[in-house]
Amino acid sequence: MTESIRIYWMTDLHLKDSVTGQPEAEDAIRRERHYYAAKDKLWQAVEMINRDKPDCVVCTGDMNDSVQSFATFAEAWERVPGQKAITLGNHDLNNDYSTIVDELGYGDRPVISGSHFNRSFALRNGEVQARVIVLDTNIGPDGQHRSNVEGTIQEDAFRWLEEEMLGCAEKTILVFTHNGLGGPAKFFDQQHVERFMKLADRVSTEKPGTHIYNMAGHHHVHPTAVVKEIAPHFTFVNGVAMIAEAVSYINIVSVRADGGIDLDYSEVRYNGAG
């Protein structure tokens, strides 16, 4: 088999404990969001990950739909083996940031550019290499976390991104965020998008052959991801939202030996369990 790096990526789970396993309950469904099925799908994803053993697992936020404990998510997330990373979404931040950090057990983790969730690490499988950057886009100009439908990247986060993207050895850079840099304009501060695009230009000029991908959720797409090639060196991927419908998908990202990526999906389905 040709070598590749496999990343299992879930986004927009929207757990809602009050209606878990109760499709008939009031508020069990709102538009595409099948809340009653969310926990079932999460645990299927965890089982699948334990069986398939991907190189890395990323969750890009909106684990919770509104104000509730993160215990339901944390219990499942703890069962995910190996290299893994999460970032928060605007819905998560209806809860207090420091409470979320405590409930997820992230209190002892280093804070990078104002977030316990910002992370940068290399993945390698034989000759295939990729850089994973997980970026928190929920921080306001005052440095505080907030629930905002518009994603932001503050000054110190831009400095960190620049260091990581210019400094890393890998030519395939996957930047995972909740809000998408190439999605609907209302979902990201467009001045920040412009600045990110300039940074991406600089990275590809200084390190020829580099390709940057932004892998995001927030805007719920289903049943397949939306892929936009925005520049020769920059591609935007809006992943499938796991909350969508009774049957949804975990996104599977494979980084090929030539540095490109392939997208695939593995089904998660409501089985009627709580």
Q: Which is nearer to Fe ion, 62 or 136 (CB)?
A: 62
The region of 60-68, 122-130, 189-197, 199-207 touching Fe ion under the rule CB under 5 A is: 60-68
Tokens in use for 262?
A: 């392939």
Residue 136: half-sphere exposure toward Cβ, Cα within 13 Å: 28
Helix segments in 124-265, DSSP class H:
155-167, 190-206
The region of 6-14, 167-175, 180-188, 259-267 touching Fe ion under the rule CB under 5 A is: 6-14
In the chain, how long is the greatest CA-to-CA distance? 56
Cα 112–chain centre separation: 17
Taking the complex as a whole, the smallest distance from the CB of residue 231 to Fe ion amounts, in Å, to: 26
Interface with Fe ion, residue 12, by CB under 5 A:
yes
Taking the complex as a whole, the smallest distance from the CB of residue 14 to Fe ion amounts, in Å, to: 6
Taking the complex as a whole, the smallest distance from the CB of residue 15 to Fe ion amounts, in Å, to: 11
Helix segments in 17-143, DSSP class H:
38-52, 71-77, 97-104
Tokens in use for 32?
A: 């595409």
Interface with Fe ion, residue 40, by CB under 5 A:
no
Q: Which is nearer to Fe ion, 12 or 189 (CB)?
A: 12
Cβ-proximal residues to 215 (8 Å cutoff; 6+ apart), any chain: 9, 58, 60, 174, 175, 176, 177, 237, 239, 251, 253
Q: Which is nearer to Fe ion, 12 or 136 (CB)?
A: 12
Helical (H) or strand (E) element with 212: strand 211-221
By C-alpha distance, which of 15, 5, 4 is closest to 45? 15
Q: Which of 8, 13, 39, 62 binds Fe ion (CB under 5 A)?
A: 62
The region of 59-67, 188-196, 226-234, 247-255 touching Fe ion under the rule CB under 5 A is: 59-67
Q: Which is nearer to Fe ion, 69 or 94 (CB)?
A: 94
The region of 24-32, 62-70, 149-157, 163-171 touching Fe ion under the rule CB under 5 A is: 62-70
Taking the complex as a whole, the smallest distance from the CB of residue 243 to Fe ion amounts, in Å, to: 7
Q: Which is nearer to Fe ion, 12 or 40 (CB)?
A: 12
Cα 186–chain centre separation: 19
Q: Which is nearer to Fe ion, 62 or 164 (CB)?
A: 62
Give the type of residue at 262.
D
Instruction: Taking the CA atoms of 34, 67, 58 and 181 in sequence, report the sign of the dihedral they define.
Output: positive
By C-alpha distance, which of 264, 165, 158 is closest to 213? 165
Taking the complex as a whole, the smallest distance from the CB of residue 44 to Fe ion amounts, in Å, to: 19
Give the residue carrying structure tokens 């991908």.
213
Taking the complex as a whole, the smallest distance from the CB of residue 219 to Fe ion amounts, in Å, to: 8
Taking the complex as a whole, the smallest distance from the CB of residue 89 to Fe ion amounts, in Å, to: 6
- Binding residues (CB under 5 A) for Fe ion: these are 12, 62
